[in-house]
Amino acid sequence: MTRDQILSLSGERFTAVYRIVCKPAEAEARARDICVEQTIEFPEALVTDASIRDQVIGRVLSLQAVGEDRFEALIGYPVEAAGRELTQLINVLFGNISIKPGVRLIGFELPESLARQYRGPRFGQSGLRALVDVHDRPLLCTAIKPMGLSPVALADLAYRLALGGIHLIKDDHGLSDQTFCRYEERVRRCAEAVERANRETGQRCLYLPNVTAPAGEIASRARLAKDAGAGGLLFCPGLAGFDAMRALADDDELALPILSHPAFQGTFCVHPDAGLSHGVLYGQLNRLAGADATIFPSWGGRFAFTQAECRDLVAGATRPMGELRTIFPVPGGGMRLDRVAELRDFYGRDCILLIGGDLHAQGTDLVENCRRFAELTA
């Protein structure tokens, strides 16, 4: 290495906590393996340059037992390894090591120098509250469904939901650009229907179409939504990528709130000894990528998240992360009206309660069912 190529990094590091499942005699080697795999991905014994060994390879800052054959390793990585891209930051946090069994990323901390590279949520909790002008209670959300309805039928549904007092009406994540329900017609009709209801009620309900799409179509669908009068966007980062969502959030001409949907992400977190913690996946990563609210299946619904996992998720959505705004947790997944009080007690006022099918199951008057939903959260 010539003199002008001498490696000289800042010495500043970001940290990640991993849970490792292994026998005690293997713990140190497994932790060290993460350090190497997530940085140089090269046999450490073959690294002859001391500056690479000392400055680039991750460091085990602590290692402690947290249960039988379970350990937590705090590892520090040089901030320079993350570059200036969200894709590379995620790669360092959990790239190759995600392929090895018995490793789970359960949290990370970024120094200010790295955190400020990301704008994060444009609105966050406070900004989204300002958009709908609701400040002292949980917000209400639902989805237009089922798949198979025409744009006209979905717009009529959106109109009645908005009349009933719902604050955020999103496309079901399964609505895309199917031949039986084309994207442009659906978005224009639903945006107009919600705006018409807003004029009648004086409220500020937002319609959020699903802009998850092939890579080359995401931006154009988002701009069409904006032009049509949509109040926000639904996006599935598990399908189209966290950085694709970040690009939407950072677009100053778009400037719409984003509701993140968990489609395709379940296997990243459901096994307790692998993948990502709920707080990392649905909280911290969504915030870095600019989501203003994060949908997840709450405990007690038709999915299998536990109360502890939901608390971890809420912590990831609201814990301090430099200057990044806190975002709304949006518990859903088979929630019912008769559980609203229980959900409010558990999640507090700073959440968005998502109820879908049960609004349609409580008799034939959908508008009144929505008003009942609002009364239960007032």
Angstrom CA distances, 302 to 43, 68, 297, 305, 333, stand at 46, 31, 8, 9, 6
**Residue 271 a catalytic site member:** no
The amino acid occupying position 133 is D
Catalytic residue, chosen from 135, 145, 226, 360, is 145
Tokens at 202, concatenated = 């004086």
End-to-end C-alpha distance for the chain, whole angstroms = 67
d(C-alpha 152, C-alpha 10), whole Å: 58
Q: Are 205 and 197 in contact (CB under 8 A)?
A: yes
Which position has the token pair 């001409």? Answer: 253
In angstroms, the CA 136 to CA 123 distance is 17
Pair of tokens at residue 173: 């994540």
Residues 6+ apart with CB under 8 A from 5: none
Question: What is the separation of C-alpha 322 from the centre of its chain, rounded to a whole number of angstroms?
Answer: 17
CA 134, CA 126: separation in Å to the nearest integer? 10
Name the active-site residue from 170, 173, 261, 278.
261
DSSP per-residue codes, 257-307 = -EEE--TT-GGGTSSTTSEE-HIIIIIIHHHHTT-SEEEEE-TTSSS---H
Task: Look up residue 251 and give its two tokens.
Answer: 């677009």
Other C-beta atoms within 10 Å of 226: how many? 20
Residue 145: active-site member: yes
Rg of the chain over all Cα atoms, to the nearest angstrom: 23
Please list the active-site residues.
145, 261
